Each structure stands twice: as structure tokens, then as C-alpha cells.
Amino acid sequence: MIKPRRRRLCRALAVLLLLGTTAAASAADPARIDWDEWQVPHVTAPDLPSGLRALGWAQMRLRGDSIARAYLSARGTLAACVGEEALAGDIRTHQLGIPDRAREWLVAQDPEMRAGLDAYAAGMNRWLQHHPKREGVAACLQTVEPSDPLALVQALLHVGVAGHSLATQAEQWREQRGSNAYAVAPARSADGRTLLLINPHSPWRDPFTVLEQHLVVGDTNIYGMTFPGLPLPVMGFAQRHGWALTFNDVDGVDLYAATLEGDGYRFGDGTRAFTRRTVQIDVRDATGALQHLDLTVRSTLHGPVIAERDGKVLAVRIAGLERPHLLRQLWDMWQAPDMARFKQALAQQQMPITNLVRAGADGSIYYLFNGLSPRRAKGDRSFWAGVVDGGDPSLLWSDYVPFADLPQVENPPGGFVQNANDGPTSASWPTVLDRASLPATLTDDRRTPRGRRSLALMAGAGSVSLSDLAHMASDSGMDTAGLALPWLVPAALAASDAEVAGLGRVLQGWDGTATPASRGGPLFAEWSYLMRRAGMPVPAADIQQLPALGGRDEPVGVPRALTILREAGRNLHKRFGRVDVAWGDAYRIRRAGLDLPSPVGRDELGAFNAGRYQPVRDAGGATGRFDLVDASHFIAAVAFGPSGPEAQGLLAYGNKDDPSDTATRGQLTLFSQGKLRALSFTNEDVAAASREVEQMEMNP
């Protein structure tokens, strides 16, 4: 073990060595990066441009491959690097005008944010200049432009999430979302501090991977997660407040069918001309040569044309593409000293989608069903979910539901707010929002088994400590098990078939969780799958009732359910040689050269710590084992008190693209064990955790 004095000497030597490659720090720009053992960059800088310059360098060091792919895709130039596999995406990017609009957005930035984007790009370019030997997609990114992050904002949030109907990849993101968030008031916390749980979920692959970073600019100290290629954390915590985001069902995209007439299209009582522009798309062929494709993009008053059929064109209108100041809003949110200023920042309405859950050191807790929901003259959700008449002027919207009219819950009597991708009326318990008062096209106000589990955990918790909150993040108890087992187990135990009765005993001994050593979960999961396949999904209790009230009367068809249970048991015995299989034997995390037991439950079964799995197959077909492909990634449990925040957290799959990284393997192991690590936030904590230092000078 290195003694403290020796450790300080090693750090000093590391600084000198790094300064030899990055030049001496300038007094005008003394930005500093402290790297901890988990490969988290802790950036300290006197102003925003200096801090973002350092973060540009740090992000490129961490996830250069991810950033290269993301930027090239957002530019519509990925096919020139990887070939025809990216052509459809490049065409869609240019149809939607993302590259040109990103340059327009850059011009619209205020001086501080423009300087920050310039510096962020400069930091990335400095890293590229110092690391010219790159392979794969990373070799195709020669220079980063200040407009690249703005193109990425559009590609990720406006098209990738809000515009989920436009691409299969985005549909996967929308379908696989599974984020959780809590804010707990001091009256409900064990020590009088305000608590926050940040627990987003998404697929563990690009373009959905995230990174963890820490930025201190003057008096602004922010720690959180962002997407590689975006400069600011999109969620996390600061000195006196923090927030989590979860995806919601704001419908910010509409499809219009317009009838062709001559060289234009019919609109109202007349004909309108298309707006036309031509772009060139380069595609690398199998020989390595570039082929050139000229693409003519037509647009109606609604938006760009993305398809044509039977004398009609299909145009798309996406909310928020005329609002270029998301990064400014984020920075204002991070700097907001209190709830009133925080709401002022939110009222800028630059975010196209997401729920928000906030906690503050002043004891305030807050939920917002956030997003840009068009103010539509007529129709309900089902009407706008289809293709609407592009010739009807009354259907062309131009503004959004104002911030004041969005569903919000502040300091409810239950002492907590939550979201698990369910609707706004379940934000608290007892509920304080009325479903009938919600705008007709705003939300379906949906309910999910995981959302019921989330409510049950917090509503039944009594007083909650920071440690309790951290344990909740790893809770894998399955909501559907609580509904089904009360009738399934007695029926199985009473069966005359000894095989079925034995399976009932397995389920009777199961604790209802997906902890790796727990036996019985794979049997229940297999039975649930076979029940759904047979058209007999596991029943749900009254969705308006608190889950703690328990299950309901047994469903019709119990004999059929027992027959399916026997089939499930035989499937497990065939694959594993036993029916009481441990969860961690069937459900695995195979990543970065590791093969670990998974502690993650299945989302469709209502686990709070939920994920989605991919079946493992071999030459003989299904093996009965599953690989985790979508789950929690950045987790932070935070307590806000008079002395500042205390936080525990994790980035499950690590902070680097390199799968051989020791820190990546360490975090995966902690995740498998259901553990979190301390997050270094104060200057003293960062200094103690620092393992390497880099300092950035003013000019490359």
C-alpha cells in the first residue's frame, strides 16, 4: 500500500509527465482534471469555457469511439466511414435538416454558450491532435466542430427519443426505457436531509451509452451523467440541488399526408409549392472508394417529406427544432440557487421530452411531466398517433402547452415524488393530480408493474435513510409475483399431480426477487413467459390501488395455468437439470471479458431494478440462459444537508470505451453485487481520490 506522502509524490510526477505532453498550464486558463480510480474526470476551472475545454479533452479520452460515431451520424456522414450500413441513417439525418440546423443553432447561441461550445470543440481537437493514431470509426473523425454537440442534441433527443416513430433504433430506445427516480422530503427521511435517487436505464450500447463527469466552475459544482459528445451533465446533483430524468410519453411528432397536385401539394383551398434543397451524401463502397449520392429533399409547411406513395407525400413535424437553447437551459438549471429560479429555467421549455424529479437542500421536492406537447386544435391521442390530413390547415400546430399547464407536483403531503416511466397521476401517494384535468393529447397517463413496485417501496418504507435509498436502487422484487403467487402457489400445492406440487413448493420457497442466489425466479419468469404466449398474461391488480394492498382473486383458468407451470418446470429441467434454478445461474452479465451473475429483474415482471435480456443460444437452440442488454447505468443516491451533498453511485458498465479497463471491470463487479461506491464531490474528497492530474493551457 502506498503511504500518503509517497502517493502525493506520485501524483506530482504524473502532473509533470502530462504537462510534458500537453504543455504547461497557463495562468489565464488553469483548468485541471483530476482522474480518480474509476476513470471519472473531476474538472476544476475558473469559467465555463475553460471547464468545457477540459471536458472536451476528457470525454474524447474516455469515449472517443462513441463520440466519433455519434458526431459522424449527426452530421449525416457516417456512411462515408463505415459504408452502406449507415446510408439510411445519413439520408434521414439530411432529410430532417440536422446538420444545417445545427449550424443555425450555433449562430443563435449567446456569447457565453458560444464560447463554451468553441472551447469544448477545441479540447476535443487537442486530444485528436495528440493522438493521431486511431482505428475504426475514430479514425474518420478528423476535426470536431462547435456545431457538432448541437447536431447531437437533435439526433438524440428530438429525433432519437421524441421522434421515436422515425427509426427502428429510436423505437428500441423508447421501448426499452426503464428509468426510476425518487425525491424524499426531510419529513420522510431518517436524518432530516432531502434525498434524491437518480436511476436511468437504457440499452448498454451506442448510441445510448453515457459517461460520468464532475465539473467545478467558480461556485458552481455539478456531478452527473451525460451522453458522450454533449458538454454538460443532463442529470445529477450540485451543491444544493439535483434532479433525475425519466422518459415519458409526450407526443412531439406528427405525420401528415399531403396530396400531390402539379409540382406542389394541396393545402386548404389552394396549392403550395415544395421547398427544395439538394445535398450530397458520400458512401464508402466495398473497395474503399467513395461513391456520391445526390439527395433532393422536399419540404411542406409541416416539415420534410420522408416518403411518397399513391399520389401523396408523408411529411413529419417534430417539436422543438426551432428551440436552440437546451444547453443554456441546462446551465441555468445547474446554477439555479432555489426552486423559483429552477422553475424559471424550466420555463424556457427547450427540452422536448422527459419527466423531471428534483430534490433541494431547502427541503423542497418536485415532479414535472416535462416536454414540448403541441397545442393541437382538435383530436385526441389516438387521432394524432396516426397519419393526419396534411391538407387541413387547422391541423398545423405552431406552439406548445405552456410550462404552467404541465402536470407538476411540489412538496406533496406523502413526503415523496417518484417516477418509473408511468403517468403523472402516480407521481406521489396519496395522488394529488386528477387524470380528468390533463390535456387530452398530453399523455396516456399509463401505469406499469414497475411503477406500482416503485410506489409500494416508498409508500411502505416509513422513514428513509441514504443507505435505504441506495438499497432501493438494487431492489429486484417483482410486482407481478406479488399478484400471482397468492393464488398460484396454493393451487399448485393442492394439485394431485406430484410434479406440479413440487413446483409449487419451489415457488413457495422463493423470496420473489432476482437476487443472484435466489431460487425460484427463473421458474416464475418461464411460467410468466409461457402464460403470455398462451394469451393468459399474469393478472394485474386494480392499477389505481397501492400495490401494498396485495393481489386479487384468482383468475379464470387456474387448471390451464398449472399445466403451463408444469411445462415451465420441464423446460428448466431440460436446460439446467433442475427446476429450482438460482436467478444468477440463468441471468448473466457478460461484458468486458467477465461473466457475472445478474442482480437485475425483468422489466415486464415489475422489478424496480429492472432490465431486458437477450436469450443465449447455441447450436442446439435456446440454452435457458440470458444476457443482460439493457438496465441501470448511472446510479446516484444523494442526501442534501447543511454541509452539502453526500452521494453514493455507480456507472454500471464503466466510463471508458476500452473493455479491458480495470475500472470498467470493477464497476461491473460492484453492480453484480448490488453495491455502490462513494462519489467524490468536495475539493477534499477529489484530492484524496485523485490518481492522475492533467492541466489544460489556453491554446492547443
Longest dimension (CA), the chain: 83
The pLDDT, as a whole number, for residue 660 is 84
3-state class (DSSP) for residue 406:
coil
Residues facing 29 on adjacent strands: 26
How much is the pTM?
A: 0.92
The pLDDT, as a whole number, for residue 447 is 85
Torsion of CA 507, 509, 512, 513, to 10 degrees: -120
Closest CA to 636 of 225, 276, 348: 225
d(CA 187, CA 119): 44
Are 56 and 46 contacting, i.e. CB atoms less than 8 angstroms apart? no
Q: pLDDT means per 10 residues in the chain (700 residues)?
A: 35 39 45 97 97 98 97 98 96 96 99 98 97 93 98 92 47 55 98 98 91 97 98 98 96 95 97 98 96 97 95 96 98 97 99 97 98 94 93 97 97 97 94 88 89 92 96 94 93 97 98 97 97 79 40 64 97 96 98 96 93 89 90 97 96 91 95 98 98 78
253-318+377-397, CATH topology level: Penicillin G acylase, beta-roll domain (2.30.120)
Cell of 656: 471508458
Are 109 and 324 contacting, i.e. CB atoms less than 8 angstroms apart? yes
Q: Peptide bond preceding 645: is omega within 30 degrees of 0, i.e. cis?
A: no
d(CA 587, CA 526): 12
d(CA 31, CA 282): 39
Closest CA to 275 of 293, 296, 294, 254: 296
Are 98 and 105 contacting, i.e. CB atoms less than 8 angstroms apart? no
Closest CA to 488 of 519, 527, 449, 533: 527
Interhelix angle 87-95/48-75, rounded to 10 degrees, is: 110
The reply to whether 542 sits in an annotated binding site is: no
User: What's phi and psi for 479, nearest 5 deg?
Assistant: -60, -45
Q: Which of 179, 189, 202, 672 is catalytic?
A: 179
Cell of 246: 425519466
Torsion of CA 381, 383, 388, 394, to 10 degrees: -80
Strands 211-217 and 41-45: parallel
Element (H, E) at 408: strand 408-410
d(CA 191, CA 210): 32
Beta-carbon contacts of 111 under 8 Å, excluding residues fewer than 6 positions away, are none
202 flagged as catalytic: no
d(CA 459, CA 188): 10
d(CA 324, CA 254): 20
Q: For the domain bounded by 479-598, which CATH number is listed?
A: 1.10.1400.10
Beta-carbon contacts of 424 under 8 Å, excluding residues fewer than 6 positions away, are 355, 367, 369, 407, 409, 433, 438, 443, 445
Are 639 and 194 contacting, i.e. CB atoms less than 8 angstroms apart? yes
**Domain positions in the chain:** 253-318+377-397, 479-598
- Specify burial of residue 369 (Cβ count, 10 A radius: 0-12, 13-18, 19+): buried
Are 449 and 528 contacting, i.e. CB atoms less than 8 angstroms apart? no
Q: How many CB atoms lie within 10 A of CB 8?
A: 13
DSSP structure class, residue 56? H
The pLDDT, as a whole number, for residue 177 is 53
Torsion of CA 352, 225, 128, 11, to 10 degrees: 160
d(CA 638, CA 694): 28
The reply to whether 34 sits in an annotated binding site is: no
- The residue type of 90 is D
3-state class (DSSP) for residue 25:
coil
Cell of 99: 446538420
Closest CA to 346 of 420, 434, 426, 241: 241
DSSP structure class, residue 394? G
Where are the strands (E) in 268-304, listed by range?
Answer: 270-273, 275-284, 290-299
d(CA 209, CA 200): 11
Strands 587-591 and 621-632: parallel
Q: How far is CA 314 from the centre of its chain?
A: 30
Are 648 and 466 contacting, i.e. CB atoms less than 8 angstroms apart? yes
| 206 Ramachandran zone, left/alpha/beta (phi>0; psi -120 to 50) | beta
Closest CA to 556 of 536, 533, 579, 578: 536
Q: How many CB atoms lie within 10 A of CB 394?
A: 11
The pLDDT, as a whole number, for residue 557 is 79
> 65-93 burial, b for 16+ CB within 10 Å, e for fewer?
bbbbbbbbbbbbbbbbbbeeebbebbbbb
3-state class (DSSP) for residue 290:
strand
The reply to whether 297 sits in an annotated binding site is: no
Q: How far is CA 286 from CA 82, 512, 642, in A?
A: 10, 52, 62
Closest CA to 636 of 411, 456, 466, 455: 466
Three-state helix/strand/coil letters over 414-426: CCEEEECCCCHHH
Cell of 493: 400445492
d(CA 628, CA 688): 34
d(CA 634, CA 360): 20
Cell of 225: 451523467
Closest CA to 62 of 148, 139, 124: 124
The pLDDT, as a whole number, for residue 542 is 41
